[in-house]
Amino acid sequence: GAVVSQHPSWVICKSGTSVKIECRSLDFQATTMFWYRQFPKQSLMLMATSNEGSKATYEQGVEKDKFLINHASLTLSTLTVTSAHPEDSSFYICSAPHEGGNYGYTFGSGTRLTVV
Amino acid sequence: AQTVTQSQPEMSVQEAETVTLSCTYDTSESDYYLFWYKQPPSRQMILVIRQEAYKQQNATENRFSVNFQKAAKSFSLKISDSQLGDAAMYFCAYYSLDSNYQLIWGAGTKLIIKP
């Protein structure tokens, strides 16, 4: 089945540094990738939608300059948290629709980011 | 706007028993898809079951089945013969062809399995 590989699984970084999270579609072409943030015991909150070869669409309230999304190829989308601060600590998940979304969405395994 | 509501923050069931998780949604669309996703402690999201709105027949996947009531905009998940491995957060989600592939999520229900 469709697989999205997400790395790293967890990362600890110092405040002020940047962290890049990668999501690769291994056996299908992901023209669209959704990036979510999930707080403990809460549902997924959509941050942005990336489309291959075009600028990402950010949800209201999400800082574009802090959360840089790049979708340069049909198999790779990246999220870079720039100048990270402790409040950016969270669980980040990527997801891509396959078969047009009608058959479901494939999720990466998530990245737990801790900013110290 | 489309919304998805899961009114049960937490449910518990005895192992081998049956449990039903509720989900209601609001939409003006006639063609859409509904999903139940499972998120175990590993936090990997796993598709449990999907339902196309145009199909009257309720979807079934082994021990998991849904009760899809289109007029009532209800989409409940029934888990039969509950197993310890079913313990997880369960999220109901909606997707419309006009939503630019975006999934609309419910708040989730934490399912506890009692041995």
Q: What is the pLDDT of residues A21-73, one digit of tens each?
A: 999 999 888 889 999 999 998 999 999 999 988 899 999 999 999 999 999 89
Residues B43, A110: C-beta atoms closer than 8 Å: yes
Q: What integer is the mean pLDDT of B6-17?
A: 97
Out of A42, A102, A105, name the one closest to residue B103 (CB). Answer: A105
CA distance A33 to B81: 36
Q: How far apart are the first and last CA of chain A?
A: 37
Residues B50, A104: C-beta atoms closer than 8 Å: yes
CA of B108, closest CA in chain A: separation in Å?
6
pLDDT at A103 exceeding the cut of 70: no
Task: Yes or no: say if A94 and A107 are a contact pair by the CB < 8 Å rule.
Answer: yes
Give rounded-to-5 percent helix, strand, coil for chain A: 5, 55, 40
**Pair of tokens at residue A87:** 């409040």
Q: Which residues of B40-71 are buried (b: 16+ CB within 10 A; e: fewer)?
A: eeebebebbbbbebeeeeebeeeebbbebeee
pLDDT at B98 exceeding the cut of 90: no
The residues that bridge with B110 in the sheet, in sequence order, are: B10, B89
pLDDT at B22 exceeding the cut of 70: yes
Higher per-residue pLDDT: B96 or A84: A84
Nearest CA in chain A to B92: A43
Confidence category of residue B25, pLDDT binned at 50, 70, 90? very high
Q: CB contacts < 8 Å between A and B, how many?
A: 46
Contacts of B98 in chain A (CB under 8 A): none
Confidence category of residue B23, pLDDT binned at 50, 70, 90? very high
Q: What is the pLDDT of residues B63-93, one digit of tens each?
A: 999 999 999 999 999 999 999 999 999 999 9
User: What does the mean pLDDT of chain A come to?
Assistant: 93
Strand, coil or helix: B85: helix
Tell me which of B43, B91, B95, B97 to substitute to probe the interface with A (most A C-beta atoms closer than 10 Å): B43
